[in-house]
Structure 1
Amino acid sequence: MDSTEGISHTGFHAGSFSANDETRAAAEAARRRVRIMSATLHTAPPHHESVAAPAARLALKTDGTSRGLLDGAWWPRSRDLLSELPALTDLLDPLWGRITRIAVNPKHWPVIPRKVPVNGHIVKVGWFTPEIDPHKLLLLSYGTGRWDLLVIPPETGAESAAQLMAAASDYDGPPLTASALIAADEARYGVCATDEPMGPDEAWEYEGGASAVSAAVPEQPGPPSRTNRLIIGM
C-alpha cells in the first residue's frame, strides 16, 4: 500500500512538472510572436524627400516715380489662398519688407483664411467689398507701405498672362484698374468681360478706344520688356 501510494505520488509530481514545462514553452513562444509582430508593426516609415513648392509668378514695377493704380501682377496657380499666399510672400518679404496683412475681394476666392503661416511668421488676411477691386490683391508691410497687384485668373493662358503682366507692371501704360485690364484682355478673345457691370470710372477707362486697350494689353507676341520690371517664376 505504501509502495503504490509512493508511485502514484511520484507520478503525479512528474506529470505536473511536464505540464508546467509545456505552459512555459507556450508562453515563451507567444512572447516571441509578440516581439516579431511589434518589430514588424513599428518599422521606420520610408523617407520621402520634401518637394519645394513652385515659385510664385510675378511681374513687379521696380523703378520710376509714378506708381499708378497697380504695382504689378500676380498669376496664382489656384484659388486656394492658404496654399498660394506663402509662396507669394516668401518672394515679396525680401523686396518690400515683411508682409503683415493681405486683403482681397471675396468674389473670386471661395475660402478666405483669417491667418496664413508664412516662413516663420503669420500673415493676417481680410476681405472688403466693394472697397477692393475683385481682380486685385492688396498687401501691407508694417511701417513700410502698401502695394496693389493685379490678380490674373489661374486658368489664363501663358500668352495672355504675359501680356497682362506687362500691362500691369508698365509705367508707360494707361492707368487702368485691375478689372478694366482683365475686361480688355477678355474682350480681345471674345469672352464675356465681367459678370457684373463695371463702375463709371472703369467703363470710361475700358471704353477709351482701341489705343487704350492696345496699350493696356499689347498684342505683339513674345516676352514683355524687362525695362523697369522684375519678372519672377515665369
Structure 2
Amino acid sequence: MNGMRGSRRRASPVRLTLNAILGGDIDGAWWPRTGSLASELPDLIDVLHVPLGEILDIDINWSATAAAPMLDNHFATAMRAMRWNDSRQRIMVVVGRTGCARILVVPHTTTQALGWMVMRQAAAMPVMSDDRDAPEYAVADRVLQAARVQSASSAARILDSPTEAVASKD
C-alpha cells in the first residue's frame, strides 16, 4: 500500500506538521480536510513514508463512536471558566520501518487560525511574538498540554523509541 514508487498528485495537500526531531510526547499534527479520516488516510501514509519509512502500524486512542473534541477560540473563556484541561484529544501513533511519530489529529471543523496555531505548536515551530497575544495561541497551548499529558500516560508510551518500536514490529 505505501511501498509505491513515485508519488501521486494530490488535489489538496495533506495538512501535516512534524517536529524535526521525533520522539516527544507529541511530534506534530495532522489536520484532515473532512470528517472522513479513512478517505484521507492513504494520502497521510504517503506523506509519512518519507520521514518514517514503510508504515507498519497505526494506533489511535479513540473509538469510532467517540465525538471529536471541539477546538474553537470562541470557547476559550468558557474553557478557562470550567477549568478545562483534558477534552480528550485524538492522537495517532504511526510506526514506520525507520521511525515513529505521535501525531495530534486536529478536528476538521477547527477554525483556520486555530488549526494552524495548533499545528505549529505541535511541531515545535516558531510562533511570532504578536501571535502569542492571540486567543488562538492560548487555546492551542491548552490543547497541546492536554495532548502531551494523554500521550505520556497512554499505552502508546510503551513505544519508548523508534528503534524499539521498529524492532518489536519485525
Under a length normalisation based on structure 2, what TM-score does the superposition of the two structures give? 0.52
RMSD: 3.5
Gapped runs of 5+ residues in structure 1? Answer: 1-50, 112-132, 174-181, 203-234
Q: Which of 78, 83, 94 is the aligned partner of 1:139?
A: 94
- 1:104 and 1:134 in contact (8 A); partners too: no
Structure 2 runs not aligned, ≥5 long: 1-8, 67-87, 128-135, 151-170
1:171 and 1:163, CA in 2 relative to 1: closer, same or farther beyond 3 A?
Answer: closer
CA distance in structure 2 between the partners assigned to 1:165 and 1:56 by the alignment:
12
Is 1:165 aligned with 2:126? no
- 2:42 pairs with 1:86: yes
Alignment match of 1:150 (pick from 104, 120, 127): 104
1:52 Cα deviation from its structure 2 partner: 4.3
Paired position in structure 2 for 1:56: 14
Looking at structure 2, the residues matched to 59 and 166 of structure 1 have their Cα atoms a distance apart, in angstroms, of: 7
Distance in 2, matches of 1:158 and 1:145, equals: 29
Offset at residue 98 of structure 1 (A): 1.2
User: What SS does the corresponding residue of 2:33 show, helix, strand or coil?
Assistant: coil
State how 1:1-234 maps to structure 2 within 5 Å: 52-63=10-21, 67-107=23-63, 109-110=64-65, 134-142=89-97, 144-170=98-124, 185=139
Does the residue aligned with 1:106 lie in a helix, a strand or coil? coil
State the 1:81 CA deviation: 2.8
- Distance in 2, Cα, partners of 1:72 & 1:140: 14
Contact 1:54–1:87, Cα closer than 8 Å, also in 2: no
Identical-residue share of aligned pairs (%): 31
Q: Distance in 1 between matches of 2:100 and 2:141?
A: 30
The amino acid that maps onto 1:55 is P
Give the number of the structure with larger relative contact order, counting CA–CA contacts within 8 Å between residues 6 or more apart.
2
